[in-house]
Amino acid sequence: MTNQDREESVIVLAQIENTFILINQYREPLHMNITQLPGGGVEEGEKLEDAARREFREEAGFCCGKLHYIGELWPAPWMSNEVTHVFFTNEVSEQLGQRLEAHETIEVSFLPVNDCIERIQKNIYKDAELCYAVLLAQSKELFSL
Amino acid sequence: MTNQDREESVIVLAQIENTFILINQYREPLHMNITQLPGGGVEEGEKLEDAARREFREEAGFCCGKLHYIGELWPAPWMSNEVTHVFFTNEVSEQLGQRLEAHETIEVSFLPVNDCIERIQKNIYKDAELCYAVLLAQSKELFSL
């Protein structure tokens, strides 16, 4: 199966010192603001890593250095062919400010890694992409607690 | 928000001795067989735990004892209001045989816990619900490696 057959998106789990960069945005299907990771759809012909840098820049307002690809996730294979590609970085530099689309309102926050893990364990955070990225990175020991 | 507003499903991560019970089934949107956890939709008026026991019985062919609720997951909040409720059990008894619907073909397997973790870390398993349940249970130290 080639990439063209699937709806592809990217997310970035970024660590700055002892915090993760999270975003909070309104999600219409749930009628509420929820906490997620910066990310979005891959444009036609765009490389995955380029898409990750672009979305991270647009939504979080930062540049990132070396990106580590940690895996692809199938969020809802019973109803969708969407694939989410997950990147991890601990090289974040230059706060440039967000470049949001007109319909987007995204709040950026910095949460200590320990608190993020605790909120996932306590089921305060429920977003599949966020939970997968953080728990996979923890399982692979990409960061230390 | 009440439960009636959302599409709800349940999955069960079940440990027997040193293995997890997994299922393999065809998923039309991806055009392939994939590895997941037993589970399915909650019926109208059905309690979550009852739905978990029923789906586990139907798809895996076993009864389970005490079920631990470990959290709810939002698989795809950008396009769907679906919620997946995740249960863990290490009390599995009485192999009764599956009770599948006419259109279902589900292969049950028993994979050592260590191998399951490794396949998630290596991105061989990509299903969001499976990865979330196993990684969350690992993070909460519900099982030992």
Nearest CA-CA distance, residue A113 and chain B, Å? 13
Q: How many domains does chain B have?
A: 1
Nearest CA-CA distance, residue A67 and chain B, Å? 17
A120 compared with B2, residue with greater pLDDT? A120
Please state, in angstroms and rounded to a whole number, the distance separating the CA atoms of residues B56 and B79: 27
pLDDT, one tens digit per residue, over A42-81 is 999 999 999 999 999 999 999 999 999 999 999 999 999 9
Task: Pick the residue of A131, A136, A143 with the most B CBs within 10 A to test the interface with B by mutation.
Answer: A131
pLDDT, one tens digit per residue, over A26-40 is 999 999 999 999 999
Residue B63 lies in a domain: yes
Give me the pLDDT at residue A2, please. Answer: 47
| Helix, strand, coil share (%) of chain B residues, nearest 5 | 30, 35, 35
Please state, in angstroms and rounded to a whole number, the distance separating the CA atoms of residues A113 and B24: 34
Residue B145 lies in a domain: no
> Could you tell me the pTM of the whole model?
0.93
Residue B42 lies in a domain: no
pLDDT, one tens digit per residue, over B70-123 is 999 999 999 999 999 999 999 998 777 778 877 878 999 999 999 999 999 999
**Average pLDDT of span B37-55:** 97
Residue A57 lies in a domain: yes
Contact B128 A82 (CB under 8 A): no
Contact B29 A138 (CB under 8 A): no
Q: pLDDT over 70 for what percent of chain B?
A: 97
Contact A135 B136 (CB under 8 A): yes
Q: Residue B83: its chain A contacts at CB < 8 A? A: 126
CATH number at residue B122: 3.90.79.10
Residue B85 lies in a domain: yes
Residue A144 lies in a domain: no
* ipTM of the shown complex: 0.93
Nearest CA-CA distance, residue A3 and chain B, Å? 12
pLDDT, one tens digit per residue, over B48-60 is 999 999 999 999 9
The answer to which of A104-113, B89-98, B107-116, B132-141 has the lowest mean pLDDT is B89-98
Cβ A8 vs Cβ A42: under 8 Å: yes
- Is A77 exposed, middle or buried (CB count within 10 Å of its CB: 0-12, 13-18, 19+)? buried
Angle (CA) A143 B121 A70, round 5°? 65
The parent domain of residue B122 ranges over 3-37+50-139
Contacts of B58 (CB under 8 A, 6+ apart): B40, B98, B99, B100
Point out the residue among B36, B123, B139 whose CB comes nearest to the CB of A71: B123
Contact A27 B78 (CB under 8 A): yes
| HSE-up of residue A142 (Cα within 13 Å, Cβ side) | 23
Residue A42 lies in a domain: no
Closest Cα to residue A84, out of A45, A47, A133, A119?
A133
Residue B144 lies in a domain: no
